[in-house]
Structure 1
Amino acid sequence: MTLMLVSCYDVQKPEKPDDLISEDKMVDVLVETVIMSSAKGINKRELENKGILPDSFIYKKHKIDSLQFVNSNNYYAYDIENFNQIYTRVKDSLEALRLHYKEVQKKEEKSKKKLPVKNKKLKANLKK
């Protein structure tokens, strides 16, 4: 339905911004946006207590601003095939990260099982 509405209007391709974010960087920003959004959903209060503003944090890290992001996003969104390719890369990157951290978690669990009983008790006491 949205495509039909868009096709009914005289939608013009946005001009290429002078400060267009590269596709590679756009993928990185979008990946981090998804991760930060998830973190915000789980630990919103903790992020706020530490003074972390997710969007500002990401923009600062990538040396971009919100207007540059919006203009770049609009530019890429006009070409739906290219936009889908960008989001496929985002999805693939997130899946690769998920698999990586799943592997890390497995290795940590294996190493914890191999600890002698004395070391487990020592670690438990150190955590207190």
Structure 2
Amino acid sequence: MKKAVFFFFGMLLLSCGEKVVEKPENLIPKEKMVDILHDLSLLNATKAAFGSKFKESGIDVMDFLYEKYQIDSVQFVESDLYYASIPLEYQSIYEKVEERIDNRKNIMENISKQKNDSIKEVQLRLRDSIKAKREENKPTEP
């Protein structure tokens, strides 16, 4: 039984490296695919949060991406299918996308923290100046 399980997993690992789909002539390069999928994830998240604004403006996410990256839908689908047929390659693409999103998230959190710290500092200085003014205007006892 153990041999059968090892054989099955061995075949599975070997098949992960095989190209099931032929490489398309107009394959989108890996780094450009990472850029496209990164933008796609950001746009889809934005659309989920502000869907009405997308509808009002008439923006179609995929049409926007096709124009931005000067590709067409067939080229995108064929490239995505090709990379998906090579699981390790596809995984590395999505790991790079995830890394970029995490970096962007960290940057936004740092900016937010800095703004919150600045607001707290301004509020503290305002309280101190109000307190000082009150002390200044406080009548002195004879």
TM-score bucket (shorter structure): 0.7 to 0.9
Q: Percent identity?
A: 31
CA RMSD of aligned residues (A): 2.0
Query: Residues of 2 paired with 1:22 and 1:14: CA distance?
Result: 16
Query: Residues of 2 paired with 1:22 and 1:15: CA distance?
Result: 15
Query: Residues of 2 paired with 1:17 and 1:29: CA distance?
Result: 17
Counterpart of 2:63?
Answer: 56
Q: Which amino acid aligns with 1:68?
A: Q
Question: Which of 72, 76, 85 is the equivalent residue of 2:92?
Answer: 85
Counterpart of 2:8?
Answer: none
Query: Residues of 2 paired with 1:112 and 1:60: CA distance?
Result: 40
From the CA coordinates, give the structure whose radius of gyration is larger. 2
Query: Residues of 1 paired with 2:85 and 2:112: CA distance?
Result: 40
TM (norm. structure 1) is 0.75
Kindly state the Cα deviation for residue 47 of structure 1 after the two structures are TM-superposed.
1.0
Kindly state the Cα deviation for residue 13 of structure 1 after the two structures are TM-superposed.
2.3
Question: Which of 74, 77, 84 is the equivalent residue of 2:81?
Answer: 74
Counterpart of 1:108?
Answer: 115
TM (norm. structure 2) is 0.68
Counterpart of 1:37?
Answer: 44
Instruction: State the aligned residue count.
Output: 108
**Structure 2 unmatched runs, 5+:** 1-11, 127-142
Deviations 1:87-119 (A, max 9, x none): 1111111111110111111222233344476xx
Counterpart of 1:121?
Answer: none
